[in-house]
C-alpha cells in the first residue's frame, strides 16, 4: 500500500456521506438527514472541505443518520483522536487479498463470511474489474495509530 496523500477528518466525512447518498441501503436516511439540517445536495455531491460551514453541515448529517461521534453508533469505540486519514494506492494483489468482514450485510452480498475476491466458487466476480480496482484505490481509507494499532 502506498500513501498518496494525507486527508483530514473533513475529507473522510465528505467521502462517507457522498458515498452513501445514492446507496440503496442508506440513501433515504442520508437524504432525510439533509432535509432536517437543510443541507443542499451540492454540499454533499460537490464538497468543499476548505469551507467550515459546509464541513459543519456534513458533520451534522453524518451525526444525524449514523451517530458519528456519539455513543451506540456504527463508530462505537472508534479512536477519533487517534485516526490518521490517507488516500492510498493498492497494488492489484493487495486488492485481491482483501477479505470482507463477517457482518450480516457483507455475508449477504458475498455469499460467505471472509469472502475473498479470488476464492474458488465465490458468488461475486472472481476478479475485480479495472473500474472496481480504480474505485478501491480512489476511496479514502483510514489508518489508526496508537495502542492496538491498525493500518
Q: In this predicted model, what pLDDT tens digit does every residue of 48-99 receive, in sequence order? A: 999 999 999 999 999 999 999 887 788 888 888 888 999 999 998 888 887 7
| Angstrom distance (rounded) from CA 19 to CA 2 | 22
Closest by CA position to 12, among listed 70, 71, 69, 73: 69
pLDDT exceeds cutoff 90 at 107: no
pLDDT exceeds cutoff 90 at 124: no
Specify if 85 maps to a domain. Answer: no
59 and 104 part of one domain: no
Domain, as residue range, for 119: 90-144
101 and 134 part of one domain: yes
Quick one: pLDDT at residue 73?
A: 80
Specify if 54 maps to a domain. Answer: yes
Closest by CA position to 62, among listed 39, 42, 87, 88: 39
Amino acid at each position: 500500500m502506498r500513501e498518496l496523500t494525507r486527508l483530514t477528518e473533513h475529507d473522510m466525512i465528505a467521502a462517507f456521506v457522498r458515498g452513501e447518498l445514492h446507496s440503496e441501503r442508506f440513501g433515504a436516511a442520508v437524504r432525510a438527514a439533509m432535509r432536517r439540517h437543510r443541507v443542499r445536495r451540492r454540499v454533499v455531491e460537490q464538497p468543499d472541505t476548505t469551507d467550515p460551514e459546509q464541513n459543519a453541515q456534513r458533520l451534522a448529517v453524518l451525526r444525524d443518520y449514523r451517530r458519528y461521534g456519539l455513543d451506540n453508533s456504527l463508530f462505537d469505540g472508534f479512536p477519533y483522536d487517534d485516526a490518521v486519514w490517507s488516500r492510498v494506492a493498492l497494488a492489484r494483489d493487495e486488492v485481491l487479498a482483501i477479505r470482507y468482514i463477517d457482518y450480516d450485510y457483507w455475508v449477504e452480498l458475498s455469499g460467505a463470511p471472509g469472502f475473498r475476491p479470488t476464492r474458488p466458487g465465490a458468488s461475486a466476480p472472481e476478479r475485480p474489474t479495472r473500474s472496481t480496482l480504480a474505485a478501491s484505490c480512489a476511496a479514502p481509507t483510514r489508518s489508526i495509530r496508537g495502542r492496538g494499532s491498525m493500518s
